[in-house]
């Protein structure tokens, strides 16, 4: 695509979208948000980037192969369910840790770990689809 406005805006847009997607990911456990929707927002950042800079640049920007990122995400999500085995609970039971020095820190849990895994799966899978579609045209 050849648009001066979009080209100028892309660096800011992509950075802000990725930041926003991480914000949505982390606020997810008590208010609307979470790994899936955050992942979609993150993937849309890479989609914007691909439209402007091309597939090769996106591959470079992602460092790892998108499918590898999705695989790591799935592994993290799966392992977060196993953590409850150590505490004698059923599979996928959420485990929370409220450290005594910072009791307001509510992110240290397997639930957030699961959401991070979902986030990576969604970003990796959707970017893989976008790259596949871009390359086949």
Task: Determine, following the binding rule CB under 8 A, whether residue 57 of this chain makes contact with other proteins.
Answer: no
Task: Determine, following the binding rule CB under 8 A, whether residue 92 of this chain makes contact with other proteins.
Answer: yes
* Closest to other proteins by CB, 91 or 101: 91
Which CA distances in Å does 99 have to 39, 106, 107? 28, 9, 11
Tokens of 106: 């509510």
Report the nearest approach of other proteins to the CB of residue 89 (Å): 6
Among 59, 65, 107, 109, binds other proteins (CB under 8 A): 65
* Closest to other proteins by CB, 23 or 75: 75
Provide the b/e sequence for 11-36 (b: ≥16 CB within 10 Å). Answer: eebbeebbeebeebbbebbeeebbbe
Report the nearest approach of other proteins to the CB of residue 9 (Å): 27
């Amino acid at each position: 695509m050849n648009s001066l406005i979009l080209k100028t805006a892309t660096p800011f847009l992509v950075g802000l979208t990725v930041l926003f997607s991480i914000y949505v990911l982390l606020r997810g456990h008590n208010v609307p948000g979470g790994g899936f929707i955050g992942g979609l927002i993150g993937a849309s950042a890479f989609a914007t980037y691909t439209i402007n800079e091309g597939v090769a640049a996106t591959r470079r920007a992602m460092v790892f192969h998108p499918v590898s990122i999705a695989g790591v995400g799935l592994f993290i999500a799966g392992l977060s369910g196993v953590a409850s085995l150590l505490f004698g609970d059923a599979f996928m039971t959420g485990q929370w840790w409220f450290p005594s020095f910072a009791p307001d820190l509510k992110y240290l849990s397997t639930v957030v770990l699961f959401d991070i895994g979902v986030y990576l799966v969604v970003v990796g899978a959707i970017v893989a689809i976008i790259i596949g579609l871009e390359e086949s045209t």
